[in-house]
């Protein structure tokens, strides 16, 4: 385990240096700063809850405050996801409406110029692609954000389970569990600081991501669904 260096080896400086290197490497990945922020926040909150429970008491004010902070963070992540999901549905409908409008406009133009003759299929397809391109460019950031918020909610659930097993491991002495909690809090702080440094340096999801492949796949799926209808 990564925390063994500080929990058993009593080498906080070495642990900090190692984790800082890994955090800076992760910060350069797609959604790296955002991921570090979420992980750092979750690690610190789970450690805070455990330490408050063990050192101050289950019904202490410190424990209640730590639990409230944790619940608020999870509620915020859930609200972000559902709000973004609603916006994604709206954007999806916008893409569909853009294609349908392009079809109608092309048909009207062809009918007006050639006496109700059928429009050229290539012209119709070109107009549809152009309309969908504009609508898709507008919708893509919202869809990517929704996908990210879904990942954050999954992280919340996973971290809760993993940290409980890690901090409540009865196979090790109580003192080791306390050290683990302090190490987890330190790791969370390192991740949070690395995320802030990355943001200050101009690293963001928009810069790290390559949306063209995602865009092409989603657009292909939308066009296919329209043709099926």
Share above pLDDT 70 across residues of the chain, in percent, rounded to a whole number: 77
Q: Could you give the count of Cα atoms lying within 13 Å of 45 in the half-sphere of its Cβ? A: 20
Q: How far apart are CA 116 and CA 109, in angstroms?
A: 9
State yes or no: pLDDT of 175 exceeds 90: yes
Q: Each residue of 98-136: pLDDT tens digit?
A: 777 776 776 666 666 655 555 566 666 666 677 777 777
* Residue listed under structure tokens 């409008």: 101
The gap between the terminal CA atoms of the chain, to the nearest Å, is: 53
Tokens standing for residue 64: 């209640």
Where does the pLDDT of residue 226 fall: very low under 50, low under 70, confident under 90, or very high at 90 and above?
Answer: very low
Where does the pLDDT of residue 145 fall: very low under 50, low under 70, confident under 90, or very high at 90 and above?
Answer: confident
**Largest Cα span, the chain:** 88
Q: Each residue of 3-55: pLDDT tens digit?
A: 899 999 989 999 999 999 999 998 888 788 999 999 999 999 999 999 999 99
Tokens standing for residue 43: 């690690």
Give me the pLDDT at residue 67, please: 93
Closest CA to 76 of 48, 33, 45: 45
Give me the pLDDT at residue 157, please: 92
Q: Is 0.85 surpassed by the pTM of this model?
A: no
Give me the pLDDT at residue 228, please: 43
State yes or no: pLDDT of 97 exceeds 50: yes
Give me the pLDDT at residue 84, please: 92
């Amino acid at each position: 385990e990564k925390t063994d260096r500080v929990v058993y080896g009593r080498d906080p400086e070495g642990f900090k240096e190692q984790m800082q290197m890994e955090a800076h490497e992760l910060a350069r990945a797609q959604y790296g700063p955002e991921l570090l922020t979420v992980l750092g926040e979750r690690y610190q909150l789970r450690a805070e809850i455990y330490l408050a429970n063990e050192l101050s008491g289950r019904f202490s004010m410190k424990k209640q405050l730590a639990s409230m902070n944790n619940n608020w963070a999870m509620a915020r992540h859930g609200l972000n996801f559902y709000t973004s999901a609603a916006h994604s549905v709206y954007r999806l409908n916008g893409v569909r409406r853009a294609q349908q409008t392009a079809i109608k406009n092309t048909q009207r133009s062809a009918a007006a110029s050639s006496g109700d003759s059928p429009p050229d299929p290539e012209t119709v397809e070109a107009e549809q692609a152009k309309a969908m391109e504009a609508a898709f460019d507008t919708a893509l950031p919202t869809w990517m954000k929704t996908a990210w918020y879904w990942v954050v909610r999954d992280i919340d659930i996973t971290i809760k389970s993993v940290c409980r097993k890690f901090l409540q491991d009865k196979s090790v002495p109580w003192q080791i569990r306390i050290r683990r909690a302090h190490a987890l809090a330190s790791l969370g702080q390192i991740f949070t600081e690395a995320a802030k440094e990355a943001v200050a340096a101009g690293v963001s999801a928009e810069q790290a991501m390559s949306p063209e492949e995602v865009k092409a796949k989603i657009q292909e799926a939308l066009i296919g669904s329209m043709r099926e209808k």
